[in-house]
């Protein structure tokens, strides 16, 4: 497992495409081979060193097949480099910066980042517990500062954050919503907040009222965010990150951007293992094809 914390250590560990392929092979088949066509556990070496061939059906599979690295059309070393930068840099990296650094087209970097974001999706297995603050915000659009509830061309997002006993923020999530109705607001509750172990605080927006029957919930006056200082901070951080990294955030990709932001946010204490864990998830996530994300 690579545990390097800076780009020099990364450069020493991964010098060639073969180094990266070997790393993927160890993750994919380190604990044994299973044919993705017939499920057989028996294999021969493939015609290429980085392939394995099924003894039963003869299917020859590469280390990248069936993963998010499937058919990446630029050197794997550069792909690893993007993974490292996006995962370990405090704020990630924009596709323009990556494009300059790696001499790849900006679009290529953006597309590959979109794949990384797929691996950054929450597993939804660890809902928030304890004190959880929830708020809804509008992002982008010319009328970002307007206080109205009309959507315009803004992207609406519902956020939930754990407030620990020491007053620090714990984990957090963000979900794109279509409007501020109870049905839409409920999405983040259903996917990210524990029904049994969370005490939720929201502002007095009526949309939250019906959720009281399912969740332990307190609705308090927001006073322009003053009563939710941690949430206010989180919102400022999220908005400034989005402005810096993604100049245009379309509705279509907003959830992917949120996934990236909260992936790093929730792993800010993980440190050394975060790159390895990302690569493992990328190996275990089904390929995402370019057609899926043409705008």
Nearer to Zn ion, 57 or 236 (CB): 57
Closest CB to Zn ion among 2 and 59? 59
Distance from chain centroid for Cα 101: 22
Report the C-alpha gap between 78 and 145 in whole angstroms: 40
Whole-number Å distance between alpha carbons of 249 and 257: 8
State in angstroms the smallest separation of the CB of 34 from Zn ion.
9
**Cβ within 8 Å of residue 126, ≥6 positions away:** 171
Q: CA of 282: how far to CAs of 53, 58, 72, 126, 246, in Å?
A: 22, 25, 13, 19, 22
Residue nearer to Zn ion on the CB measure, 52 or 159: 52
- x-or-dash string of contact with Zn ion, 9-38, rule CB under 5 A: --------------------------x-xx
Q: How far is the CB of 44 from Zn ion (least distance, A)?
A: 11
| CA nearest to 293, candidates 114, 83, 113 | 114
Q: Does 211 bind Zn ion (CB under 5 A)?
A: no
Q: Which is nearer to Zn ion, 54 or 76 (CB)?
A: 54
The residue (of 39 and 244) whose beta carbon lies closer to Zn ion is 39
CB of 110 to Zn ion, least distance (A): 36
Task: Determine phi and psi for 188, rounding to 5 degrees.
Answer: -70, -30
Q: Per-residue contact track with Zn ion, 35 to 74, x per CB under 5 A?
A: x-xx-x-------------x-xx-x---------------
* Total site size for Zn ion, rule CB under 5 A: 8
What SS3 state is found at 170?
strand
Residues in contact with Zn ion by the rule CB under 5 A: 35, 37-38, 40, 54, 56-57, 59
């Amino acid at each position: 497992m690579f545990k390097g914390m800076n780009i020099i250590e990364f450069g020493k560990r991964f010098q060639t495409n073969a180094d990266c392929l070997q790393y993927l092979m160890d993750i994919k088949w380190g604990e044994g081979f299973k044919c993705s066509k017939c499920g057989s556990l028996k294999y021969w070496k493939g015609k290429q060193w980085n392939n394995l061939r099924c003894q039963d059906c003869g299917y020859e599979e590469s280390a990248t097949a069936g993963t998010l690295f499937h058919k990446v059309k630029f050197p794997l070393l550069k792909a690893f480099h993007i993974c490292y930068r996006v995962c370990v840099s405090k704020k990630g990296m924009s596709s323009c910066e990556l494009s300059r650094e790696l001499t790849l087209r900006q679009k290529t970097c953006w597309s590959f980042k979109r794949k990384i974001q797929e691996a950054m999706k929450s597993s939804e297995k660890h809902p928030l517990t304890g004190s959880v603050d929830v708020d809804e915000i509008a992002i982008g659009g010319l009328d970002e500062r307007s206080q109205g509830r009309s959507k315009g061309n803004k992207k609406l997002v519902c956020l939930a954050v754990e407030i620990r006993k020491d007053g620090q923020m714990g984990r957090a999530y963000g979900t794109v919503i279509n409007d501020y109705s109870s049905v839409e607001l409920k999405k983040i509750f259903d996917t990210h907040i524990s029904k049994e172990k969370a005490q939720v605080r929201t502002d007095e927006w009526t949309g939250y009222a019906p959720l009281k029957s399912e969740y332990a919930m307190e609705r308090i006056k927001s006073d322009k965010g003053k009563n939710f200082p941690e949430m206010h901070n989180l919102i400022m951080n999220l908005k400034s990150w989005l402005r810096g990294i993604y100049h245009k955030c379309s509705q279509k990709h907003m959830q992917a951007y949120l996934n990236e932001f909260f992936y790093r946010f929730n792993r800010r204490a993980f440190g050394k293992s975060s790159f390895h864990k990302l690569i493992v998830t990328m190996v275990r996530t089904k390929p995402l094809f370019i057609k899926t994300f043409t705008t």
